Amino acid sequence: MHTTMLKPAGRSAAQVARDVISLFKLRIGVLIMITALVGMAVTPGPAPSVAQALVLALSVLVASAAAGAFNQYVEHETDRLMKRTSRRAFVTGALPHHPAWLVMMAVLLAVAVAAAWWVLNAVAALHVFLGAFFYGVVYTLWLKRRTAMNIVIGGLAGSFAVLAGAAAVDPSLGPLPWLLALVLFLWTPPHFWSLAIANRADYAQAGVPMLPVVVGTERAARIVFLSTLALFLASLAPLAFGAGPLYGVGALLGGLHFVRKSWQLARRPERSTAMGSFFASLVQLSLLLLAASMDALLR
């Protein structure tokens, strides 16, 4: 990769490094990595070694980073139209929008999938790949600008991380990891739609058909509430398939908190309640994952 692409004139190596790291959407990547580790923890079977857990974590994180960078590369024209994304490195020119970045992203994904295949197994590697593919290609390229259901199908990216972790222990994938993957699938729409309601003007200006742009804020808020109810009910289902009481407490507390905040959003669809619902979704998922992990450790 040409040095002028990585280090534009007048910028220090530290500044360029920060800009490159910003491409990878590491906050999202770390969350996805944690879901993979939880999938590994809750799956019955022989305890994975430290090396296997480390490879799982890094392969999911690196694959997610590659997909996040690809999203920013593809979205750089749309990102300049939205206040929330207008300071991204490809938008401002801090990093040149050069095709060589695609080579880096492909190499990162290939290394992540190969490491998972070598150290874990082919099924885990397949799910590592599918997570990145669904976010980078299915969501970003195929769906985001075409349908308000973009984030619903794109939400499968998080589900594949859970299945990658479970497959690392047992490639046959029993009911508990499938149910946790369903929870992740149902979590993504109300989480992201809450944020989309708060930033509806941005998406409308950029011409992105997010749900509140297509159906209006009030209807979108009601859909968020109904989606949160479905998520809450689904999050209780693992209790019938081996999840213990600690998991139940986490699912109940986090789920009820999210339901309450999404109900407030449905009653008053405005930015403040939308952000309240968005942050409640993070609390809900955090409690769920923490409770699932503790439950597995104490099993």
* Tens digits of residue pLDDT in 229-251: 999 999 999 999 988 999 999 99
* pLDDT, tens digit (0-9, with 9 covering 90-100), for 73-108: 999 988 888 888 889 999 998 999 999 999 999 999
Q: Per the domain annotation, does 2 fall within a domain? A: no
Looking at residue 288, which CATH number applies to its domain?
A: 1.10.357.140
Nearest alpha-carbon partner for 105 in 155, 154, 71 = 71
State the Cα–Cα distance between residues 137 and 55, nearest whole angstrom.
24
CA distance 292 to 228: 19
**Using CA atoms, how far apart are residues 38 and 6, in angstroms rounded to an integer?**
36
pLDDT digits (tens, 9 = 90+) for 100-152: 999 999 999 999 999 999 999 999 999 999 999 999 999 988 888 888 888 88
Please, what sign has the CA dihedral across residues 248, 189, 270, 79?
positive
Q: Is 159 in a helix, a strand, or coil?
A: helix
| Count of CB atoms situated within 10 Å of the CB of 27 | 9
The total number of structural domains that make up the chain: 1
Question: What is the spatial distance between Cα 207 and Cα 298, in angstroms, rounded to a whole number?
Answer: 49
Segment 96-105 long-range contacts (CB within 8 Å, at least 24 positions apart): 96/4, 96/5, 96/8, 97/73, 98/2, 98/5, 100/1, 100/2, 100/5, 101/5, 101/23, 101/69, 101/73, 102/70, 102/73, 103/1, 104/1, 104/69, 105/66, 105/67, 105/69, 105/70, 105/73
User: pLDDT value at position 297?
Assistant: 84
Is 6 within the bounds of a domain? no
Containing structural domain, residue 22: 14-297
In a domain, 270, yes or no: yes
Residue 296 has pLDDT above 90, yes or no: no
Q: Has residue 219 been placed in a domain?
A: yes
Q: Which residues contact 145 (CB under 8 A, 6 or more apart)?
A: 78, 207, 208, 209
CA–CA gap between residue 187 and residue 232 (Å, rounded): 9
* Token pair 């139209």 in the structure block, residue: 81
Question: pTM for this structure?
Answer: 0.90
Report how far apart, in Å, the C-alpha atoms of 121 and of each of 109, 132, 280 are.
Answer: 16, 17, 36
Residue 1 placed within a domain: no
CA distance 179 to 189: 17
CA distance 33 to 26: 10
Mean pLDDT of all residues belonging to the chain: 92
In-domain check, residue 25: yes
Q: Does the residue 164 lie in any domain?
A: yes
Residue 77 placed within a domain: yes
